[in-house]
Structure formats: structure tokens, C-alpha cells
Amino acid sequence: MHLRWLLCRHAIGLALLDALFGQVWVPEAVFNEVAVADKPHAARLRSYLQGKVHAVDLAHFVFLDAFADAGETAAMLLYKEMAADYLLIDDKRGRKVAKINQIQTIGSPGVLLQAKRVGLIPAVAPLLRLIAASPVFIGVDLLQTVLDLAGE
């Protein structure tokens, strides 16, 4: 399994991505968005993403809505270009647009569930609490569902 794109809105569990998916790629537009000095975890993200940043070939296309930003667009294009297995995206609207484009998505909670299933982490609850406390919005119902699926 290869995760070939990463929408980093936070830096929780970055090592899990490499362990679970082997390869992580990020388009330049996303790197430029998350690696600026005023963003949370920017230095850590810059370090982690070294060697993972790729230019996007604009020869591919994706269907977008009026709210798509440059990072989401580039990520979907890179997914298509690389024939990736998953697009990591937590934004609900972005996930809907990805589905229209036949892009397989996984969210941060899904990554945590996978990590627990293969024994990389003992529990999802502590990391899920960190995500819930970050600017990434995850609904209470989804949080409870993930905890139930994890048996916690």
C-alpha cells in the first residue's frame, strides 16, 4: 500500500504514514501551504516532507467545486498522476469532491485505526484527542464511531 499524498493540517503521527503506506508524496502547493513559518508544526512538517515534495503534471484533470483550493486541486492531480492508493484528506467537502473524481480517500482517524490494527499504536484515543484539539474539525459522532471501531 502506498499513500502518495498528504494533506497536512497538523503533524500528528507522521511516522505512522511511512510505516503504514511506505511512500508519502505531497504536491508543492500543499508543501508551500503548510511549511510556512506561521503555521503550527511548520518546522516539523518541513523536515518530514523533505524528499516527498513533487511537482504536479497539469496534463491530468479533476472535477472541482467552486471552493477547491490550490492544495486540494494539486493533491487530486498528483493522486491521478501517480495512480496512488489513497488521498489523505480530512475535509468533508474535499472528500466529496475526491469521490466524484473516483479518488480513494482516508482521513486521519482512518490512519489511526489502521495503525492500531497493525500494532503500531496501542490506542487511538490519545491521538484522536490531539486531533480533536487541533484546527482539524472532526464531528463528535465520527470521533465516537472511531473509538467504537477501535474497541476503546
* 129/113: higher pLDDT: 113
Q: How far apart are CA 106 and CA 89, in angstroms?
A: 6
Asked if the model's pLDDT at residue 16 lies above 80, the reply is yes
Three-state SS string across the chain, please? CCEEEECCCCCCCHHHHHHHHCCCCEEHHHHHHHCCCCCCCHHHHHHHHCCCEECCCCCCCCCCCCCCCHHHHHHHHHHHHHCCCEEECCCHHHHHHHHHCCCCEECHHHHHHHHHHCCCCCCCHHHHHHHHCCCCCCCHHHHHHHHHHCCC
pLDDT at 35: 76
pLDDT at 152: 95
Asked if the model's pLDDT at residue 118 lies above 60, the reply is yes
Asked if the model's pLDDT at residue 135 lies above 50, the reply is yes
CA dihedral defined by 77, 83, 33, 43, rounded to 10 degrees?
-170
pTM of the model: 0.76
* 103/45: higher pLDDT: 103
pLDDT at 113: 94
pLDDT at 4: 33
For each of the domains in the chain, give its residue range(s) and CATH number, in order of start: 3-149 (3.40.50.1010)
Report the chain's mean pLDDT, rounded to a whole number: 80
Q: What are phi and psi of 124, to 5 degrees?
A: -90, -25
Q: C-alpha distances in angstroms, 136 versus 7, 10, 90, 102?
A: 11, 8, 7, 24
Average pLDDT over residues 46-59: 81
**Span 60-80, pLDDT tens digits:** 656 666 566 777 888 888 888
